[in-house]
A and B are shown apart, each in its own frame.
Chain A
């Protein structure tokens, strides 16, 4: 009798242990509609109600990479995706757009919707991400929009050699677990400059925390001179907006924002609120080392 009791007790303890171990994952697994392990990362697509999200490396606790409202697909769910359109304050009606990093495709699809005649190139290193964007996030190439499975750096280097120019470039390759260190360097930014048209704008989604913020700011400052730093209290992201030309004064951007804001309303981009958030104020440690191809330990700097 006693022996039986003990074994039952053991079983119960086992079940509790297993359950405790699985609990942290269950919240995610319950709503996952697609999971796959690609060459670069674990990809998970989740859906709760109307909200469908793409997550990378979810077991390591990454936050949502990108989200979409299935019933209102125009709406941009995240601050950083909306912030990527702040470049329109500096460059109106872009004709040649380059987006590095596809994610769920919301940024390029919004561009395609806004500027149907613009030529849009998208570069994504992970073909699995392209497939998932097509299957779950309604992304598809059009006559004017093409996604290339390639690394951003060689793509830009080649574009530079061909003499190709873009007037709106979005760098969005840094969200996620691993930082591509070769796209943080001064040499890379110099290559980006060669493919920017004279009045073109670069919008880079970068890091707002850790030592990397200082290093990155110093590097952009050396490459572009003054740039607009764009942060929102509600977002952990920092967007760098840079141009080859001198930056336009804020007054001009306020006027522009009023003019363009109505066309961005359906995407949920509050453009008129942006100009006062753009600043050239230096809030980083200027003595930090510039990142170069010789020195770019981005992944180590992030943790320190």
Chain B
């Protein structure tokens, strides 16, 4: 009988992380229109730009995340997705105006203006967030037979997170907080998620080391 691989992280942790990533993606996307509207207006094409860029970024993220998961899938890389995505989200908070202003000045057509602005503001953090999904699948799957089951479960949870993020942001957060406060919240959630993964990984490794030490002691 083939030995099952030891799990890198508990399933509940991975599921929780999938929820957080889905939630943060849609929170940032929903705020995108609010961030772009002072420069490019509130027309339908601005939403079109944002959604297009998010879709392309996610597509690339899925591809790269899947590729990365083939080589030594581990918890530290997984945690890094969250932390690096948080870091690349900071320009949206800190440099939105200096990024959009030159684009607004050079491109007259608000359709392409908003498209370019979306690329510079959202492409990198969103594609990193997109890497989380396939990598989560890899970490959760232990055997071929249940791979579809696990992938389905993760899509379910991360899409649920997206739905909650969308509703929460558009119904409540914008009523209670400023745009940047909400973004800081998303950044904090991502950093905390990354931290939680690292901590879990550390505790697990510690336990494993102790167990191995016990085992060696017994044998000796």
Instruction: List A residues at the B interface (Cβ < 8 Å).
Output: 39-40, 125, 150-154, 157, 161, 180-182, 185, 187-188, 292-297, 300-301
Contact = CB atoms under 8 A, between A and B. Distances in A.
Contacts of A293: 34, 37-38, 179
Contacts of A296: 34
A164 B25 CA distance: 40
B175 A125 contact: no
Contacts of A150: 41, 110
B38 A187 contact: yes
23 contacts: A39-B44, A40-B44, A125-B41, A125-B43, A150-B41, A151-B40, A152-B41, A153-B37, A153-B38, A154-B39, A154-B41, A157-B104, A180-B42, A181-B37, A181-B42, A182-B34, A182-B38, A182-B42, A188-B38, A293-B38, A294-B179, A295-B174, A295-B177
Given A297-B174, A297-B175, A300-B175, A151 B110 contact: yes
B101 to A, nearest CB: 10
Interface string B20-42: 00000000000000100111111
Majority SS at the chain A contact face: loop
B44 A153 contact: no
A300 to B, nearest CB: 5
Contacts of B110: 150-151, 154
A154 B101 CA distance: 11
B178 A295 contact: yes
Given A153-B42, A296-B34, A297-B174, 17 more contacts: A39-B43, A39-B44, A125-B41, A125-B42, A125-B43, A153-B41, A154-B40, A154-B41, A157-B104, A181-B34, A181-B42, A182-B37, A182-B38, A182-B41, A295-B179, A297-B175, A300-B174
A151 B41 contact: yes
Q: Which of B38, B39, B179 has the most CB of A within 10 A?
A: B38
Nearest to A178: B42
Contacts of A292: 178
B180 interface: yes
B215 interface: no
Contacts of A185: 38
Nearest to A191: B38
Interface in B139-188: 171, 174-175, 177-180
B94 interface: no
Contacts of B180: 294
* Pairs of residues from A and B, 7 with the lowest C-beta to C-beta distance, nearest first: A151-B41, A182-B37, A294-B178, A297-B174, A297-B175, A295-B178, A294-B179
A125 B41 CA distance: 9
A294 B96 CA distance: 12
Contact of B105 (A161, A297, A301): A161
A300 B38 CA distance: 19
A296 B33 CA distance: 12
Nearest to B45: A39
